[in-house]
Structure 1
Amino acid sequence: MTSIFDFDYFLSAFPLILPYLPVTLLIAFSAMAFGLVIGTGAALIRIYRIPVLRQLATLYISFIRGTPLLVQIYLAYYGIPKLLQYLNAQIGTDIDANRVPALVFVIFSCAVNVGAYLSEAIRSALLSIERGQAEAAYSIGMTPFQAMRRIILPQALAVALPNLGNSFISLIKDTSLAFLIAVVDIMAAAKIIGGRSLRFFELYLAVAVIYWVICILVEVAMRRWEVYLTRGRRDIAGQ
């Protein structure tokens, strides 16, 4: 009789799955990096009320937040090759869409998705900084770019960090959708191995533990980073 749960197989699943962890981490960190660029750009466009771009940024955020990530991944996976084919026909380029790795579509989709959520967090953080600080920076000769980079953004980062951390944790868990378009991450590895052993429960439980540990580590790192960024502000407030 087959046992309900094979603890030994559960433990042996980790060495089989962990070699694919770098793929999961690559998706998460790459998408977060690109998402921060997208989110910051969209936030600044909305704050400075740039005509046309502001409406496009609002539409982008509304669409992304109103549709599932899975649908967005499929739209990128099937839509971007069609766009490349159209560009090939219109401007004479020779881009082979079939040679673009599926991993690229996943990173692109996750970056665009998390960027919409980061945009709101970054926008709120920037608006929380007193306008007088920017005016003081201008009065000593700083350009708007210098004031933003040296005065506003460091403080806004400390304010936005909890939301950024939560978004990153959600992004890490969302990478589990990558296997649906043939990206072999830890989720896909568990499915492939389970097809041979039929021990899906033990394998998926191992995957769950891996995600859980990663998220705990990220949460701890974010808390320490937040303490570091806000330490100076607390010291000043306590004086």
Structure 2
Amino acid sequence: MENLLDLNFLIESFPAIISRLPVTIGIAVGSLLLSLVIGVAAALIKIYKVPVLSVITSIYISFIRGTPLLVQIYLVFYGIPKIIYFLQSEYGWLQSADVNSIAPEFYALMAFSINLGAYLSETIRSAIESVDRGQFEAAKAIGMTPVQMMLKIVFPQALTVAIPNLGNMFISTIKDTSLVFIIGVIDIMGQAKILGSRGLAFFEVYIAVSIVYWILCIAVERLLVKIEKRARRYERGIA
């Protein structure tokens, strides 16, 4: 009679799965940092209604929010090499670029950054607009430049407002990295699939990888709670 669960195989699969944790965390953290740059730029473009760029930004956000992440990963994975080949053949640009040497992690990072940047742009825009307009006028009155005003007055307060949403998106990104195996990235989910195919014990490895995701997300959530509390204390101190 076949056992419902091979507990030994489940336990033995943990070290191999955890060994790929740096890949998962690296993609999630890297994409968050890059998406913050994209999100801030897109938010400021929409707030200040920059001609042409505002329309392009709106189309970008609408497209990303209206298409599945899986499709976006494929578009980046197949699109970037085609663009590089086109630039090389038509304009002689990027001749030193070897598409075959680009690691799949790069495509995953780009896809997640583009995806997350669209969602963060709306979060950042609403956070910036939540700052009291009187502080904008006060900053102008004391001679601050727009850049100084944003860096010293607006962004610190907006970040405090945006932290909960940023945290939720980061946790979602960690879970969404399970899709990167489709383009050859061996993260914790990819490692679980490989182990499952070798031992024909998919149920066990999927239980193991789900526990790893669960613990990782709990740890990140606890860290974000501490960061939010510290930010709130900083805000009250300034007030």
**Letter of the 1:162 counterpart:** P
**2:136 maps to what in 1?**
134
Distance in 1 of aligned mates of 2:110 and 2:234: 36
Q: Distance in 1 between matches of 2:234 and 2:82?
A: 51
Contact 2:135 / 2:153 at 8 angstroms: preserved in 1?
Answer: yes
Deviation at 1:55, TM superposition (A): 0.4
Report the secondary structure of 1:204's partner residue.
helix
* Aligned positions of 1:223-234 closer than 5 A: 223-234=225-236
Deviations 1:120-176 (Å, cap 9, x if unpaired)? 100000000011111111211211100100010000000000000011011111100
Find the aligned partners of 1:222 and 1:65 in 2 and give their Cα distance: 25
- Supply the AA of the counterpart residue of 2:222: V
Structure 1 residue aligned with 2:63? 63
| Map of 2:181 onto structure 1 | 179
Using the TM superposition, give the Cα deviation of residue 236 of structure 1 relative to its aligned residue in structure 2, in angstroms. 7.1
Q: State the secondary structure of the residue aligned to 1:2.
A: coil
| 2:118 aligned residue | 116
- Per the alignment, residue 162 of structure 1 pairs with 164
Report the TM-score when normalising by structure 1.
0.96
Cα separation, 2, equivalents of 1:216 and 1:37: 26
**One-letter amino acid of the structure 2 residue matched with residue 18 of structure 1:** I
Determine the C-alpha separation between the residues in 2 that align with 1:77 and 1:230. 40
Q: Corresponding residue for 2:211? A: 209
Gaps of 5+ in 2: none
CA separation in 2, counterparts of 1:144 and 1:40?
15
Task: Tell me which amino acid in the other structure corresponds to 2:9.
Answer: Y
Cα RMSD, aligned residues only:
1.2
Instruction: List per-residue Cα deviations over 1:41-88 (Å, max 9, x = no partner).
Output: 000000010000000000000000000000000011111111000000
- CA-to-partner distance for each residue in 1:13-55, whole Å, 9 max, x for gaps? 1112111111111110111110110011000000010000000
- The residue type paired with residue 88 of structure 2 is N
Q: Structure 2: how far apart are the matches of 1:198 and 1:40?
A: 46
Where does the alignment leave 5 or more consecutive residues of structure 1 unmatched? none
1:233–1:79 Cα change, 3 Å: closer
**Offset at residue 234 of structure 1 (A):** 4.1
Percent of aligned pairs with the same residue?
A: 52
Give the CA deviation at 1:182. 0.8
The 1:89–1:230 alpha-carbon spacing in structure 2 relative to 1, beyond 3 Å, is: same
Distance 1:61 1:163 in 2: 17
Measured in 2, the distance between the counterparts of 1:104 and 1:236 equals 40
**Offset, 1:92:** 1.0
1:2 Cα deviation from its structure 2 partner: 2.5
**Matched AA of 1:169:** I
CA–CA separation in structure 2 for the residues paired with 1:77 and 1:33: 20
Q: What amino acid is the match of 1:69? A: L
Is this contact kept in 1: 2:157–2:235, CA < 8 A?
no
The answer to whether residue 134 in structure 2 is matched with residue 143 in structure 1 is no
TM-score (norm: length of structure 2): 0.96
SS of the residue aligned with 2:2?
A: coil
